[in-house]
Amino acid sequence: MKIVVLDGYTMNPGDLDWDELRQLGPCDIYDRTAAEQVLERSAGAEILLTNKTVLSAETIAALPDLRYIGVLATGFNVVDTTAAAARDVIVTNIPGYSTASVAQMVFALLLEITQQVGHHNRLVREGRWTDCADFSFTDRPLLELAGKSLGVVGCGQIGRRVATLGRAFDMDVSACTANPDKHRLWAQQHGVTLIDQQHLLENCDVISLHCPLTANTENLIDARRLQTLKPGAILINTGRGQLIDEAAVAAALNSGQLKGFGADVLSTEPPQANNPLLGAPNSFITPHIAWATLEARQRQYSITQQNIRAYLAGAPLNRVN
């Protein structure tokens, strides 16, 4: 049995121990793999591990020894799961490993927008506080979260965690979901109001996106829907970059219609230099790192090993095809 890791660097840039994986079988581990290298590096592998390296139907068909694909992430759109199933190749993912870390990033972005920590830290370093006549100063309005309304779009694990954190900040929390009956008891227990998407977008001070990317949610926040948001609303996106129309959001920031935008994801990653959000005012972008805390990556690695052991035992876990 041969294991090949096609792009292990993001999960393990050097602070985790690959020896734990090597104990499961012979391993070839690559930091990154270009598209033209996939077939050569995957040849003879029974187990392939990928994070963002694409495994197409053609690639899967060209690997006769392949029996298992482990996606080192929750999203598994990089694998043609239908083609894998037709070949009886098991595909698994890693659900839930980054829930706490992504929810934490939502509030890191939100607090940066409302409290302007980074901005004022820069001013202090530039000497503005030293030269100030008063014991404190601020050159931008600061906002308190208590009493503000938070709208969570999507009630998966991350959306639910964000909602409960919002309640801890004494925010009035609403959520919308495609399956309200499934989440009604949870909402009642945690003081969350389930409302329809339109009312959420129209009435919330802060909107945080946690829905999956589908044909129905692509460009969910477009120019038309931005017009329905409360003036001065704050938008947070840690879901998928394609959930928003980036040009429309940039225009709303430039006009002042949106007070702020925070995102850990963009439609193209890394972004093009001309992405309009990179130069828009009050736009706070982090480079897809919400999932990447040490603790989350340790869970990611542990679940990877659990998934492989379960496959080898004939009882696959977290199968997605």
What are the backbone dihedrals phi and psi of residue 177, each rounded to the nearest 5 degrees, phi first? Answer: -155, 155
Element (H, E) at 283: strand 283-285
Q: Which of 126, 144, 269, 295 is catalytic?
A: 269
User: What 3-state class would DSSP assign to 235?
Assistant: strand
Cα–Cα distance for residue pair 22/90, rounded to 1 Å: 20
Q: Which of 87, 199, 288, 319 is catalytic?
A: 288
Active site residue 199: no
Can you tell me which residue has the tokens 């409960």? 164
- Cα three-residue angle 85-265-205, rounded to 5 degrees: 120
Within a 10 A sphere around the Cβ of 15, how many other Cβ atoms? Answer: 8
Report yes or no: 53 and 33 within 8 Å, Cβ to Cβ: yes
Q: What is the DSSP letter of 79?
A: B
Active site residue 269: yes
Largest CA distance in the chain: 74
Q: Which of 240, 246, 297, 299 is catalytic?
A: 240
**Which residues are tagged catalytic?**
240, 269, 288
